[in-house]
A and B are shown apart, each in its own frame.
Chain A
Amino acid sequence: MSALKQKVASVLEEPGCATNQAKGEKERKAGCKKKLTPGAAAGGCAFDGAKIALQPIVDVAHLVHGPIACEGNSWDSRHTLSSGSHIYRTGFTTDMNEMDVVYGGEKKLYRAIKEIIDKYDPPAVFVYQTCLPAMIGDDIEAVCKAAAAKFGKPVIPVNAPGFVGSKNLGNKLGGEALLDYVIGTREPEYTTPCDINLIGEYNVVGELWQVKPLFDELGIRILATISGDGRYADIATAHKARAAIMLCSQALINVARKMEERYGIPFFEGSFYGVTDMSDALRKICALLVRQGGPTDLPARAEALIAREEAKAWARLEPYKARLKGKRVLLFTGGVKSWSVVSALQEVGMEIVGTSMRKTTANDREKVKEIMGTDAHMFDELPPREMYRMLKDSQADVMLSGGRSQFVALKAKTPWVEINQERHHALAGYDGIVNLVDEIDKALTNPVWQQVRQPAPWERPDWEQDLEGWQSCNQEECAGEVCHG
């Protein structure tokens, strides 16, 4: 069994994963690989997933070893932000050609790494394997090892070629690269009893910065974020944190669990979306830090902050309640956002008419059921055609989803708000939920809906009769307009 195969198998059997916990020994061994249906599959590949998980590390070069498709068709298209270096937004690829396929791409990869170090001198180079070089047998681990030795700089192989599986698997394989090659390789300059890691927070449109002030105020230091606005050197020291919060459902559960196992860093699964979830996360991390020997007044200080911020958030949400009460939402997203957003929207009186359960764990499912009181409106799959029909039949007033289904909603002339990774508005923390509600309000109250739903005059019955009345009558109050009789 190849090293990659072993890695994939181990990640698929991840004991920390709630879905796996619910399975018997035999099922678990079989792994959780869902077979894709040719001709009816949607979603990204493992390479995509690895890139999503790691590209938010802003100061390293992300080099894609493969033909042009893997990087050329997709680079610089994510909204994870940086407070410093911008090298992570540079597209690096070996752009393999026919000769490389025939003779192997290892030498070219090595030269590419050298060129990057010579020209850009990043603290590390991350090398992503893709299907084609994996298939022809390019050994990126060996090339990275040789390059690291030669150039005296970390060169990290990320072995997640697209065809080994889904985006979610790729997230985890990306995490494995950090566990194998990065975390624990450096010591922090100093430590505090309140050092934490955020695992699975990508700083999409600056959401990390939206919650960071809350931690700052409590004196909690975010030692490393894996991986939003991340720095190579910080992530290398992540093993010295006292506790961790795992975000984004279970995308990086393997990182959280293995860091607990290897370095004794306890973690819990939390969310920064929604008022109660945010408060919950703060309470839990404080409790965890106290257990780890942190200052005992931390929970009390957290409660004061929570009380203040919650009051502020509720006060800001208040004006929306009257406007949004009873508005029906179709929520189509995966993972953690389902339950955390459901509770947030219910807080302002909106009604959830449906939510997708894609990429969710049994835990997520239970949470949604608990919050919604029923599982009647949980969809495992909602094909675009069905989604369109629901919206066209006005079964929802607004849809919240990722970019791919945006145009299903818009073509059905239904308000739509973006909540996945391509979103343009920061939705985390106490401010974020107000932003989300404001986005929904902005979408629902836009005057275009009324206009685009009106048929053209000639599509109305008896339109020619209507036209009769259009003749301007010299009355003053009609001046300048078509006077409809």
Chain B
Amino acid sequence: MAEVKHSKKACAVNPLKMSQPIGAALAFLGMDQALPLLHGSQGCTAFGLVLFVKHFRETIPLQTTAMNEVTTILGGLENVEQALVNIHKRAAPALVGLISTGITEAKGDDVDGFLQLIRQKHPELADMEVVFVSTPDFAGAFQDGWGKAVLRMVETIAKPSNVRRPWQVNILPGCHLTPGDIEEVKEMVEAFGLTPVVLPDLSGSMDGHIPETFLPTTLGGTRLDELRSMGESAYTLVIGEQGRAAAAKLKDIAGVPYTVFDRLTGLKPCDDFLALLSRIANTEVPPRFKRQRSQLLDAMLDGHFHFGKKKVAVAAEPDLLYALTTFLTEMGAEIQVAVTSTESPLLNRVPADEVLIGDLEDFEQGAVGADLLITHAHGRQAAARLGIPFWRSGLPTFDRLGAAHKVSVGYRGTRNLIFEVGNVFIENLHEAVPDDFRPTAEPAASCGTGCAHGAAAVACH
């Protein structure tokens, strides 16, 4: 049980946190033929765009309502209207994710009202779905924005239904799952003869494929007809707390039962996940997973030597923090410091004495003497200053290749994680020198009285 503490500083130093609106934008980027539109000044979009381009190494469709100081004060109806009309004309996406920011929230723009007026005035936009999500920059963090966007998509688009598709299963992954992770989850579900509908599905859009044509929208990801059919699914599986609200909403709308997996990294949650799939599909667990499970057990046995009693400092958003810290402690490591970006019911279950909602300055101070640092790429300065090995996890990872394809869910992902992190420990094994074995001298006071004995004599003449 961890105690959750809040940083008391006025000045955040080296932020861990990123803003809600771009978390929401990423959720919309997992939708097919979608275009996220930030309702704010153009910088809000530009920073998010650059961040995603560097992390995913992909072109990122992301637009702005280009608010200026005058339109901010007068209200953004005209800008939202123009933006939607222009986007419809130029990009014709199936879905626009309309995302508010700090200024338009502080002004109090009634965007739902705007949308009604715009719909009346522009019937030509009827073929373009618009989902509005309220995400002020001055509250919450990245994963909150993701969670809200997914909730709003379910709320506005999913339909109640009397039909059940017993073979169809909804998957609601948190933003801490990479496209590679989602691909792994889909394969697990499909292995049971089930059809997964993933909301949103970054593995279709942000997985780095080479399309044959260029589109100003996303290409791949969850289709709107899939989203509409989610109410007909047999079950909803949620990975990470951030998807709980959306799953509960879908249950309200269409009666689809759900289970929240607080993580899918580690032996136990993977066992449970497959057991549940087996029950939903009413089939045996396919042999390949028995094989993979056995490989994971072997990796745990081989790896535990290197994890035991290692002190690890971790900074990540709540769901990722929880997955990483439970994994590490289950392998025998200890969490020296845990820092996160925002509130979550998971935080007091993090296996550490305390969890601090803070920044990477707090992280750096707490990490002195640790064996390993784990956080996103912004931890590189702290790692260099502290001279402690650093393993990157989370978004943004702008200074390494393949961030989208890192896999840490399922038996194979967990096995992979043991090897990757374990190898960092192995690489930094301390090779002994004679001094390591020399008994340390007692403090000077004891030398004063008598230096007669053994090694102590050597140290103090």
Q: Which residues of A contact B (CB under 8 A)?
A: 36-48, 63, 66-77, 86, 89-98, 100-101, 108-109, 111-116, 119, 131-132, 134-136, 161-165, 383-385, 388-389, 392, 403-408, 411-413, 452
Contacts and interface: CB of A to CB of B under 8 A. Distances in A.
Contacts, number: 222
A411 B50 contact: no
A48 B43 contact: yes
A188 to B, nearest CB: 32
7 contacts: A36-B64, A44-B46, A95-B15, A98-B138, A163-B72, A403-B53, A405-B59
B301 interface: no
Most buried by A among B11, B66, B86: B11
B87 interface: yes
Contacts of A165: 68
A342 B64 CA distance: 32
Interface string B34-49: 0001001111111111
A69 B15 contact: no
Given A36-B42, A42-B46, 15 more contacts: A41-B63, A44-B47, A71-B12, A77-B54, A91-B14, A95-B12, A95-B17, A101-B102, A113-B11, A135-B73, A161-B69, A163-B69, A163-B103, A392-B214, A411-B210
B289 interface: no
A162 B41 contact: yes
A67 B86 contact: no
B167 interface: no
Interface in B8-66: 9-15, 17-19, 21-22, 37, 40-51, 53-54, 57-59, 63-66
B63 A74 contact: no
A72 B73 CA distance: 25
A160 B141 CA distance: 25
Contacts of A74: 47, 50-51
A219 B215 CA distance: 54
Contacts of A163: 41, 43, 67-69, 72, 103
A89 B43 contact: no
A108 B10 contact: yes
Contacts of B47: 44, 48, 69-70, 73-74
A112 B12 CA distance: 8
B378 interface: yes
B59 A93 contact: no
A165 B68 CA distance: 7
A60 to B, nearest CB: 15
B59 A408 contact: yes
A131 B21 CA distance: 15
B381 interface: yes
Interface of B: 9-15, 17-19, 21-22, 37, 40-51, 53-54, 57-59, 63-69, 72-73, 79-80, 82-87, 90, 101-103, 106-107, 136-139, 141, 210-211, 214-216, 378, 381, 398
Contacts of A90: 13-14, 381
Contacts of B53: 403-404, 406-407
B11 A67 contact: no
A68 B59 contact: no
B49 A404 contact: yes
A45 B398 contact: no
A36 B66 contact: yes
Given A36-B66, A68-B137, A135-B107, A162 B43 contact: yes
B42 A44 contact: yes
A46 B63 CA distance: 17
Contact of B216 (A71, A89, A97, A385): A385
B68 A115 contact: no
Given A41-B66, A411-B210, A96 B138 contact: yes
B141 A68 contact: yes
A97 B138 contact: yes
A165 B69 CA distance: 9
Nearest to B51: A73
Contact of B82 (A39, A73, A113, A115): A39
Most buried by A among B22, B41, B80: B41
A406 B398 CA distance: 15
Nearest to B87: A39
A306 to B, nearest CB: 38
Nearest to B21: A69
A45 B43 contact: yes
Given A73-B51, A95-B17, A67 B137 contact: yes
A132 B216 contact: no
Given A48-B46, A94-B10, A389 B214 contact: yes
Contacts of B85: 39
Contacts of A39: 37, 63-66, 82-87, 90
B138 A112 contact: no
Given A39-B85, A39-B87, A48-B46, A72 B17 contact: yes
Given A68-B19, A74-B47, A98 B139 contact: yes
Most buried by B among A67, A89, A94, A114: A67
A116 to B, nearest CB: 6
Contacts of A93: 11-12, 15
B90 A45 contact: no
Nearest to A452: B210
Most buried by B among A71, A92, A95: A95
A406 B58 CA distance: 8
Nearest to A405: B59
